Structure 1
Amino acid sequence: MWVARAISLLRKFGVTEGGAAAVEFALILPVMLLAYVGTMEASALISMDRRIQTVSSVVGDLVARKEALVENDLLNFFGASTSIMTPYTTATLTQTITQIEVKKDRTVKVIDSFVFTNGKLTKRTTEETDDTYELPEPMLDISLPAFIIASEASYSYTPFYGIVFDQPVNLYRQTFYLPRHGSTKRITMPGPS
């Protein structure tokens, strides 16, 4: 008796379509929300990556324009990144400017290197830079013999929601410039702080 009743209920359930849309919506809603939030997080990450690229290129370009720099020039150039990064914090932003000499025999030597992080400018020593710098082959070809300005920016981006990207994402950009006043002239950089 109860078996016949269960079979009858199952048959009714199979042909009844009332509420099917609600069940389908309930099944697809989590996927739609995940895609929506993932798209928002991905677009914010791409936007932040573009900002890091802009910081690297702007600072490198400003340094390459000058024949001589004082510490205040570097602080102002690095400080411009605060405006570029708005509304995001610059607490995890690290910027590096390195002046590199490329000799005729394709050897590379670091002349000066400065790091700016958390509002503090420090000059890197030869031991910290290892006195060498890994340059891409095309950059070596363009710059023989010359000085090059390498500008680097790195940032640890923490996604706002943390649903799709739940760990900080480390972003890094590097740009190279030949000094505008002549690539065979060395830029005078400030001494140790």
Structure 2
Amino acid sequence: MQNKAAGAVYQASRLGQDETGLAAVEFALILPIMLVLLLGMIEITSGFSTNRKVTMATRSLSDLVSQGTTTNDTDIQAVFVVGGYVLQPYAAAPLTATISQIRIDANKNATVVWSKSATFSGTGQSVAATVTKSAYTAGQSITVPVALQTAPSYPTFLIRSEVKYTYTPTIGYLIKDSIQMSQDTYTRPRQSGCVVYTGIYPTCT
């Protein structure tokens, strides 16, 4: 009888020390957590990367226009296309953009002198931009940062670019809804007092 009891105790002690399959059980327990963390990191990283691209596209638009002394519909469309390419490898279709020139007088009143918008299509090496009517009209009052209202002489001009992008998560596991990203940037004309727009704003007055 004692031998049987001792044998049962021995077998029980061996069972308690048996770790066969323990790693598989632990992996099965932590796998869902690991997948959630992985998918979350992918979505968050993609979102930050897209937002960075939106910022770069916004800066590119105002920077390119401000480097010229004149522009026209053809030039503006080309600038918009460049902005669409900056978003690579992300699709340009959810992108909308506006480029405006703003005039600030001696009383620091800011008004729009010309403005153009665009919608986009395509991705990769086939980005297209369609120039559309801007929501801003010539002579419309507009708010600009106080720090940009000061200039050595007046009137002074600013090139403003605005970009909006609808970001849709690639996986949609943690972030299920689309996110509206937007940026705006101001630059001063570099080669002249203003950027003349052929047929719309012929002189810097």
Query: Common fold, TM-score beyond 0.5?
Result: yes
Residue aligning to 2:195: 187
Q: d(CA) in 2 for partners of 1:148 and 1:179?
A: 7
Alignment of 1:26-175 (within 5 A): 26-118=28-120, 119-124=129-134, 131-141=140-150, 145=154, 146-175=156-185
SS in 2 for 1:134: coil
State the shift of 1:21 in Å. Answer: 3.9
Superposition RMSD in Å: 2.6
Q: TM-score, normalised by structure 2?
A: 0.76
Q: d(CA) in 2 for partners of 1:186 and 1:81?
A: 21
Moved more, 40-49 or 80-89: 80-89
Max Rg structure:
2
Gaps of at least 5 residues in structure 1 are: 1-10
State the shift of 1:27 in Å. Answer: 2.7
4+ residue segments displaced more than 6 Å = none
Please say if residues 111 and 139 of structure 2, whose CA atoms lie closer than 8 Å, have aligned partners that are also in contact.
no
Gaps of at least 5 residues in structure 2 are: 1-11, 121-128, 201-205
Q: Greater share of helix residues, 1 or 2?
A: 1
Q: TM-score, normalised by structure 1?
A: 0.80
Aligned length: 178
Residue aligning to 2:187: 177
Using the aligned pairs only, state the percent identity.
Answer: 28
Q: d(CA) in 1 for partners of 2:68 and 2:188?
A: 11
Q: What per-residue deviation string (whole Å, max 9, x for no partner) do you get for residues 115-155 of structure 1?
A: 0113221243655x781222122222358731000011111
Q: d(CA) in 1 for partners of 2:152 and 2:22?
A: 68
